[in-house]
Amino acid sequence: MIRSPLTLALLSLTLAACSPADPQQQVSRAITDGVLLPLYSAWNEADRQLAESSKAFCAGTQSIADARLAFASAQSTWAAVQPALLGPLAEGNRAWQIQFWPDKKNLVARQVEALINSKPELTPADLDKSSVVVQGLTAYEYLLFDPAIDLNNAEQKARYCPMIVAIGDHQQVLAADVMNSWQGEDGMAAQLKHFPNTRYAEAAEAVAELLRTHVSALDGLKKKLGTPLGRQTKGQPQPFQAEAWRSKASLANLAASLASAERIWLGAEHDGIQALLSSDQDELKQRINAAYSDTRQRLAAAQRPLGELLTDEAGRSELNALYDSLGALHRLHEVELARALGIQLGFNAHDGD
């Protein structure tokens, strides 16, 4: 029987639709739709609300308590995005515009004050042309939480509000720009789901980058805890090197990042990175699940802010146990999971810090 070219083409499409899907493409697609896009959407919405909050607070229609809550939401959703820091947000210096850390020389306070002194009527355009040190959430935190600033004082509020509004606007524009880069026909989400494309030749490359980002984020969590704990300074605590010491949200941020990392591992429907392990690798899967559980429970058990825990031996012991738990979780991903999946991780963004 002679088939027309059209019939052959339709038959080919039908067979392709019926053939088993690439497991790596399935996982990359599932993580994108079930985990990454919801994380980015929540972050984008939190920054939209932050911009609204900055204007409402400075107009006198919102309390400082509510302004701090809006900041906490923006900071938490940013922490949640960090295990998914790939593509547009990892490019163009964007992450530094959101958060400047570590701030070893108190540059945030110094540069915020210098900029306000030089431009008392600071505009969003002025901020956009300024250093990343003053553009992000770390500077916003300084303005809302630093004990040397009293925003209940009308004169101080008038002094700092132009920068509060400018940072809110900058974060909203940045988040919306990143979100737009994820959406659309050729956006980041599409590149993680359909192969080949201009970023990835095949699904295996996308999965490898997801794991590299994941491992780098876990290493970053170790650094965020280890730096104030003094793990790199012979056990001498450095409380002012904590990621969010002014707002006392350091451990809450760690928990938000850890929850996202675990979500990428598990998947929204048990279809995350773990789905790539075969049945004979169940023992590794169980050990990784147990490691997440251990770290999560240690974080949940912390009843005091990081800065307070650093002040006594019992607190430091608790933090050291948490650090060791994070280290075990990181090694499981960096060494055993990468080997099981045949992925070469290569350079780590935190190497050399």
Cα dihedral across residues 69, 71, 77, 80: positive or negative: negative
User: Measured between alpha carbons, how far is 52 from 50 in angstroms, rounded to an integer?
Assistant: 5
Distance (Å) of CA 257 to CA 51, 77, 81, 305 = 23, 9, 7, 17
CB 291 within 8 A of CB 329: yes
**Fold (CATH) for 23-191:** A middle domain of Talin 1 (1.20.1420)
What CA–CA distance (Å, rounded) separates 174 from 264? 24
Q: Tell me the CA distances in angstroms from 20 to 23, 26, 268, 281, one per residue in order.
A: 8, 10, 21, 22
- Two structure tokens written together for 184: 């659309």
pTM exceeds 0.85 for this model: yes
- Positions of the chain with pLDDT under 50: 1-2, 6-19, 349-353
Residue 21, pLDDT score: 78
Residue 318 burial (10 A CB sphere; 0-12, 13-18, 19+): middle
Are residues 49 and 62 in contact, defined by beta-carbon separation less than 8 angstroms? no
Please give the pLDDT value at position 332. 98
- The CB-based long-range contact list for 111-120 (8 Å cut-off, 24+ gap) reads 111/139, 112/139, 112/142, 112/143, 112/163, 115/163, 116/159, 116/160, 116/162, 116/163, 120/159, 120/162
The per-residue pLDDT of the chain, averaged, comes to 93
Residue 18: predicted pLDDT: 36
Tell me, what's the pLDDT at 233? 77
